Structure 1
Amino acid sequence: MKTYRYPSVLTIAGFDGSGGAGIQADMKTISALGCYATSVLTALPVQNTTGVRKIYPIPVEAVSDQIEAILDDVFPDAIKIGMVHTPELVETIVKTLGKYKKVPIVFDPVMVATSGHRLIEEETISTIVQQLFPVASVITPNMDEAAILAGMEVKTLDEMRTAGERIKTLGCNSILLKGGHQETQTITSLFLDQDHNFHAFHAEKFATQNTHGSGCTLSSAIASYIAQEKDLYSSVELAQNYVYEAIKHGRDVQTGKGNGPLNHFFNPQKLIKHELV
């Protein structure tokens, strides 16, 4: 009898009990795109669609133990890293992953929630830049996060380009600057690749409050397409299309009293099976 394996994606991220962001959004996305989802919890935010109320930390030893348990057993084809809110947590994740074979990493520098809440400690940023940026295949900041990283205002497309170039000098391999906060009718995101080339992705804006977890969804979608052995540019392009459609198909649904979730399962794929040789 033939045996098979699923393309596997590990998400290392925070919790969202309301189901729209964090590990919950990641696992929905990975599953909807036909991959097998595993997870490591980094923090326990108490939140709903209206915002974050409190964040309970997870001991760093518990994070390290979780990573080792997964990588010793269900080794991933790609890794998505989301909420890392302390320097010790960043160091622990990088050190633990460094014990294993290198895997493509998509890092979503979660610093500001959709609701506007700041989610990261100030001293964590330099540790992220020094230790996590160099090992990530791509980072996916939104405009608020790009402004923090670049140390400048980021409101326009030109400012996004300047910020991208500044962030690249911090040691990133490639950057997807998300343009979802633009006030123009057409939203433009910019992908700055490893060779310093910019690629623009355009999408028409439509009215909706249901964008909670869109950044988590995008980064885990990129990781899912990488796990399917697509190149980085194609993975970014396909992931952007997936998020656009997930927002579009969930725009007329009310879930909660604030920013509602995406419709991750607008077109779910069956689990992909690769034959083991």
Structure 2
Amino acid sequence: MERIPRALTIAGSDPSGGAGLQADLKTFTALGVYGMSAVTSVTVQNTERVVYAKELPPELVYDQIKVVAEDIGIDAAKTGMLSGEEVILAVAKAVRDFKIDRLIVDTVLRSKSGYSLLKDEAIRVLVKELFPHALLITPNIPEAEVLCGDRLVKLRDIELCAKKLLSMGPRGVLIKGGHMEGDKAIDVLYTGGDEFHYFVGDRVRTKNLHGTGCTLSAAITALLAKGYEFYEAIKKAKDYVQGAIENSLPLGKGHGPLNHMWNIKGCVEDF
């Protein structure tokens, strides 16, 4: 029997289905990967706002990872919303204990509506405990500004910040440029040395972008689980997300979700 690729998301729950572990699991499925989840927090949110969130006990988060790692196995994993220090410590311990080598850390700090999804005092713990285990971290511009302590206005600012972030321990840094001005969205990948890689995409004029960061990190995770080489996984993930944005869904009164199933025959027509 052909090996089934397995991916785990360690993230918060979004009842609207556009972001968080729901978006991750949809992405895993759309890219042909068996998806598993460890819930870190339960949020009350919709397309307009996050009302509030409830963090789960750290031992419960650890045990969720433990049981799937020991039974099914994990080819690649990603983190999303981690909420607080104790949860981060529990996740870091699980990553070490179960030797999760292909780990994508999506540095989720705030929701699109501005709700804090990671306590300020926990950012230092995230950097210290999880960054050194990460194959890749994927901050957007506002998150990178918080992590680097600098304003990112020009492409050179992003490059310098990427270098600073790499020195914090991850093996790769992908700073997402969707918040920059211009007709093109430029993501910057840095893995060391003097060379940067740029992923340039056409900016889609839509408000329906809820869960874009979750979806990109999940797509990279899925493709790594399938055995794709690092750079190729990011490139293919970017193409997948571009299509999901171009076919995004006008649902709700706020920022609608992406269409995670756009690449599956019949799904776009059905919507």
Alignment TM-score, normalising by the size of structure 2: 0.94
SS at match of 2:241: helix
Q: Residues 3-40 of structure 1, C-alpha deviation per residue, up to 9 Å, x if partnerless?
A: 34310100000000000000000000000000000000
Task: Supply the RMSD in Å over aligned alpha carbons.
Answer: 1.3
1:245 maps to which residue?
243
- After TM superposition, give the deviation of residue 194 of structure 1 in Å: 4.3
- After TM superposition, give the deviation of residue 247 of structure 1 in Å: 0.2
Q: Is 1:265 matched up with 2:251?
A: no
The number of aligned residues is 265
- After TM superposition, give the deviation of residue 246 of structure 1 in Å: 0.4
SS at match of 1:49: coil
Amino acid corresponding to residue 37 of structure 2 in structure 1: S
State how far apart, in whole Å, the 1-side matches of 2:15 and 2:127 are.
29
SS at match of 2:236: helix
8 Å contact 2:172–2:190 — kept in the other structure?
yes
Q: Which of 250, 253, 259 pairs up with 1:254?
A: 250
8 Å contact 2:66–2:98 — kept in the other structure?
no
State how far apart, in whole Å, the 2-side matches of 1:71 and 1:268 are.
29
Name stretches of at least 5 consecutive residues in structure 1 with no aligned partner. Answer: 270-277
- After TM superposition, give the deviation of residue 182 of structure 1 in Å: 1.1
State how far apart, in whole Å, the 1-side matches of 2:194 and 2:222 are.
24
Pair 1:195–1:9, CA change in 2 (3 A): farther
Amino acid corresponding to residue 260 of structure 1 in structure 2: G
Higher relative contact order (CA closer than 8 Å, sequence separation 6+): 1
- After TM superposition, give the deviation of residue 196 of structure 1 in Å: 5.4
Alignment TM-score, normalising by the size of structure 1: 0.92
SS at match of 1:72: helix
State how far apart, in whole Å, the 2-side matches of 1:20 and 1:80 are.
17
State how far apart, in whole Å, the 1-side matches of 2:221 and 2:62 are.
21
SS at match of 2:13: coil
Q: Residues 187-225 of structure 1, C-alpha deviation per residue, up to 9 Å, x if partnerless?
A: 111001244531001111121011100000000100011
1:121 maps to which residue?
119
User: Where in structure 2 are the equivalents of 1:1-277 lying within 5 Å?
Assistant: 3-195=1-193, 197-250=195-248, 253-268=249-264
Pair 1:246–1:261, CA change in 2 (3 A): same
SS at match of 1:149: helix
